[in-house]
């Protein structure tokens, strides 16, 4: 029989060496992590290392591999949120914004349609407009339809943004299906971006923020105290507007009728006080370019802000024209404060005062800087895992892995003697390869993932068992040691292949359909199957053949 070709032996040894080198950083997790953090911090700052950073850097030599497995939330501790974005809210604000346009367009048709008036619609995502003269309906619908533009996006060629129909005397206007889809996608993208900015402002490590399905966002932030805290940061829409307060608009009557196109809003810190403001804001938070926590002249916490050029012009013009009148600073439908305009404010910067604590003013500044969420979110799932529980789980997993490995190894040696030792070497290399692979692809290790690794140890030896049992049979049938080993590997291969392919199949399905911890488990299980096939078939064979070449035994006992 021919031994393995030299290049093949070298290749196998190289893969094994790579696996061991790649696995080593994970044994010194804390040190390597601090080293990596220091490297990232120095790179980001672009400055020479501080003494602390230098000390962290020295914890791990630069020349060694430093990729680590990510620890999942259940091991590191942190918060997990699944949020659903209320995309319909955006339809409504689109319709609200459309009404003045519709009114102006129909005004030009006054002689055909008569007077027009907006009526409340049952579905907030539609705009209903009653026209006085039904005879002009066709013309009115055509006019409104002409306001629609093409839907942006590749899949929606030739479709327009609006669906306009008539219902008795009413024109019913809503976004077309294609436009709704395009809007949803934009809303999600904006929300993702804003959540990312807000979470980044808090400065925790490696948050996961990803879209799930049509309207959901998954947010995982390691190291944060609780899901509540996370909701506090990302759950606020932070919609800031500056609205004109109507004359005599301060009231204590919660049931006051604000009148058309006006809003009755509660005061944030004065209980029972309400303000009636114009619905259309003078300036909105979207025109802010900066917001910083600061203090007012009395030393109380406040937030200073600056508008962009168009916002600054609008704000300047408005303050010039309305000296002596109050205006309201509105955050998420609550009036933070309603100061009286003392003077013309050019230059577009100002300060928001209210009864803030320092933390509140800091948080508000963060929220304003990051921008407003386009729509509110509902939290469908929230999980908080404390760091101590994660540490306990890691400790338990580590012990289980060590004890499991020792037990399996002892059992293999008891069953197969020297061949058991060879299988154990292959098993150790298998675990190293698995850890190295997980590190390189940046997979996240979860608690079920650790269980997957321990289970892999038990199942990985299956291939070795198949081979060894086959070799025993061939020996019993009278084959020479070399021939028996060769036949053993060959004949066991088809069973190994079939059984592992089915295992891979289930791992793939778990990965495809599962989420969170199940996915983490699927990754470790799937990779474990691949590495165990490699080590059982190639590494063990290399070891066994080298041993045969070296010893040249006349008989062997498996």
Partner 1 sequence: MAWRLRLVPVKTNIDFFRIQWVTFGASIAAMLGSLVLIFTVGLNYGIDFQGGTTIRTESTLAVDVGDYREALGALELGDVSISEVFDPSFRADQHVAMIRISAREGEESVTPELIAEVEQALQAIDPAISFPAVESVGPKVSQELVTSAMLAVLAGAVGILFYVWVRFEWQFAVGTVAALVHDVLVTVGIFALFQLRFDLTIVAALLTILGYSVNDTVVIFDRLRENLAKYKQMPLREMMNLTANETLSRTIMTASTTLISLIVLLIFGGDVIRGFVFAMLLGVILGTYSTLYMAKNIVLMIGIDRSDKPKASGGASEFANIDA
Which range of residues in 311-319, 334-342, 437-445, 457-465 is near partner 1 by CB under 8 A? 457-465
Q: Which is nearer to partner 1, 144 or 467 (CB)?
A: 467
Strands 126-131 and 116-119 come out as: antiparallel
Q: Which is nearer to partner 1, 282 or 460 (CB)?
A: 460
Q: Shortest approach of partner 1 to residue 523 CB, angstroms?
A: 12
Which range of residues in 18-26, 41-49, 254-262, 520-528 is near partner 1 by CB under 8 A? 520-528
Determine, following the binding rule CB under 8 A, whether residue 301 of this chain makes contact with partner 1. Answer: no
Please report the DSSP string for 429-449 in residue order: HHHHHHHHHHHHTTPEE-HHH
The residues in 47-86 that bind partner 1, with binding defined as CB under 8 A, are 74, 82, 84
Binding test (CB under 8 A) with partner 1, winner from 219, 366, 454, 485: 454
Which range of residues in 34-42, 138-146, 335-343, 448-456 is near partner 1 by CB under 8 A? 448-456
Determine, following the binding rule CB under 8 A, whether residue 501 of this chain makes contact with partner 1. Answer: yes
Determine, following the binding rule CB under 8 A, whether residue 13 of this chain makes contact with partner 1. Answer: no
Q: Which pair of tokens denotes residue 63?
A: 């020349």
Cα R_g (the chain), whole angstroms: 34
Angle between helix axes 387-416 and 447-476 (nearest 10 degrees) is 10
Angle between helix axes 540-551 and 418-440 (nearest 10 degrees) is 140
How many CA atoms are closer than 13 Å to the CA of 477, on its beta-carbon side?
A: 12
Q: Shortest approach of partner 1 to residue 401 CB, angstroms?
A: 9
The closest of 83, 93, 123, 121 to 183, measured between CA atoms, is: 93
Binding test (CB under 8 A) with partner 1, winner from 272, 477, 502, 549: 502
- Per-residue x/- marks for partner 1, 396-435, CB under 8 A? xx-xx--xx--xx--xx-xxxx------------------
Determine, following the binding rule CB under 8 A, whether residue 266 of this chain makes contact with partner 1. Answer: no
Whole-angstrom CA distances from 416 to 79, 161, 458, 537, 551 are 47, 73, 15, 17, 18
Q: Shortest approach of partner 1 to residue 507 CB, angstroms?
A: 7
Taking CB atoms within 8 Å and a gap of at least 24, the contacts of 150-158 are 151/176, 151/178, 151/179, 151/182, 152/182, 153/178, 153/181, 153/182, 153/185, 156/181, 156/182
Determine, following the binding rule CB under 8 A, whether residue 339 of this chain makes contact with partner 1. Answer: no
Which range of residues in 33-41, 150-158, 187-195, 509-517 is near partner 1 by CB under 8 A? 509-517
Determine, following the binding rule CB under 8 A, whether residue 514 of this chain makes contact with partner 1. Answer: yes
Whole-angstrom CA distances from 271 to 265, 266, 303, 363, 501 are 12, 8, 22, 22, 67
The residues in 280-299 that bind partner 1, with binding defined as CB under 8 A, are none
Q: What is the DSSP letter of 152?
A: P
Q: Shortest approach of partner 1 to residue 52 CB, angstroms?
A: 30
Q: What is the DSSP letter of 71?
A: E
Q: Shortest approach of partner 1 to residue 41 CB, angstroms?
A: 30
Determine, following the binding rule CB under 8 A, whether residue 547 of this chain makes contact with partner 1. Answer: no
How many CA atoms are closer than 13 Å to the CA of 367, on its beta-carbon side?
A: 22
Binding test (CB under 8 A) with partner 1, winner from 156, 322, 517, 530: 517
Residues touching partner 1, count (CB under 8 A): 83
Determine, following the binding rule CB under 8 A, whether residue 223 of this chain makes contact with partner 1. Answer: no
CB 470 within 8 A of CB 486: no
Q: How far apart are CA 51 and CA 344, in angstroms?
A: 50
Determine, following the binding rule CB under 8 A, whether residue 191 of this chain makes contact with partner 1. Answer: no
Q: How far apart are CA 446 and CA 385, in angstroms?
A: 12
Q: Which helix (H) or strand (E) holds 370?
A: helix 358-370
The residues in 346-385 that bind partner 1, with binding defined as CB under 8 A, are 378-385
Q: Which is nearer to partner 1, 113 or 471 (CB)?
A: 471
The closest of 222, 247, 116 to 173, measured between CA atoms, is: 116
The residues in 472-491 that bind partner 1, with binding defined as CB under 8 A, are 472-473, 476, 489-491
Which range of residues in 13-21, 126-134, 224-232, 360-368 is near partner 1 by CB under 8 A? 224-232
CB 378 within 8 A of CB 94: no
Binding test (CB under 8 A) with partner 1, winner from 121, 459, 479, 530: 459
């Amino acid at each position: 029989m021919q031994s393995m070709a030299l290049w093949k032996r070298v290749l196998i040894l190289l893969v094994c060496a790579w696996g061991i080198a790649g696995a080593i950083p994970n044994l010194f997790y804390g040190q390597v992590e601090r080293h990596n953090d220091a490297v990232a911090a120095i790179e980001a700052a672009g400055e020479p290392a501080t003494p602390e950073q230098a000390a962290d850097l020295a914890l791990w030599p630069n020349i060694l591999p430093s990729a680590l497995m990510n620890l999942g939330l259940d091991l590191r501790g942190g918060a997990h949120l699944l949020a659903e974005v209320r995309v319909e809210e955006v339809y409504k604000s689109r319709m609200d914004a459309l009404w003045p346009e519709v009114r102006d367009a129909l005004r030009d048709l006054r002689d055909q349609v008569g007077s027009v008036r907006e009526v409340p619609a049952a579905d907030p995502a539609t705009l209903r407009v009653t026209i006085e003269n039904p005879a002009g309906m066709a013309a009115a619908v055509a006019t409104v339809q002409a306001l629609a533009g093409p839907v942006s996006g590749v899949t929606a060629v030739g479709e327009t943004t609006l669906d306009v129909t008539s219902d008795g005397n009413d024109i019913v206007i809503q976004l077309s299906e294609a436009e709704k889809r395009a809007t949803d996608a934009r809303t999600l993208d904006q929300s993702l971006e804003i959540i990312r900015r807000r979470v980044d402002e808090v400065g925790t490590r490696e948050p996961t923020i990803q879209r799930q399905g049509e309207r959901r966002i998954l947010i995982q932030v390691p190291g944060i105290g609780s899901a509540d805290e996370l909701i506090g940061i990302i759950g606020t829409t932070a919609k800031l507007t500056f609205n004109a307060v109507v004359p005599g608009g301060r009231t204590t009557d919660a049931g006051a009728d604000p009148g058309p196109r006006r809003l009755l809003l509660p005061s944030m810190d004065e209980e029972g006080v309400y303000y009636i403001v114009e619905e259309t804001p003078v300036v909105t938070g979207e025109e802010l370019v900066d917001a910083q926590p600061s203090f007012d002249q009395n030393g109380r916490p406040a937030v200073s802000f600056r508008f962009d050029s168009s916002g600054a012009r609008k704000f300047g013009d408005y303050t010039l024209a309305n000296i002596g009148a109050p205006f309201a600073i509105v955050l998420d439908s609550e009036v933070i404060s309603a100061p009286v305009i003392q003077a013309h404010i050019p230059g577009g910067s100002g300060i928001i005062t209210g009864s803030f604590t320092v933390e509140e003013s800091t948080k508000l500044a963060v929220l304003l800087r990051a921008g407003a969420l386009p729509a509110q979110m509902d939290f469908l799932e929230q999980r908080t895992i404390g760091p101590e529980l994660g540490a306990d789980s890691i400790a338990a997993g580590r012990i289980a892995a060590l004890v499991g490995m020792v037990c399996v190894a002892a059992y293999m040696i008891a069953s197969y003697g020297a061949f058991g030792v060879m299988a154990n070497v292959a098993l150790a290399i298998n675990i190293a390869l698995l850890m190295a692979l997980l590190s390189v692809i940046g997979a996240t290790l979860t608690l079920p993932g650790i269980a997957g690794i321990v289970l892999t140890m038990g199942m990985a030896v299956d291939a070795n068992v198949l081979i060894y049992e086959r070799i025993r049979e061939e020996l019993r049938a009278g084959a020479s040691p070399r021939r028996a080993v060769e036949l053993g590997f060959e004949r066991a291969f088809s069973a190994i292949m079939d059984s592992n392919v089915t295992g891979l199949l289930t791992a793939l399905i778990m990965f495809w359909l599962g989420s969170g911890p199940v996915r983490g488990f699927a990754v470790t299980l799937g990779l474990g199957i691949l590495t165990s096939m490699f080590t059982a078939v190639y590494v063990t064979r290399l070891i066994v053949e080298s041993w045969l070449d070296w010893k040249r035994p006349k008989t062997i006992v498996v």
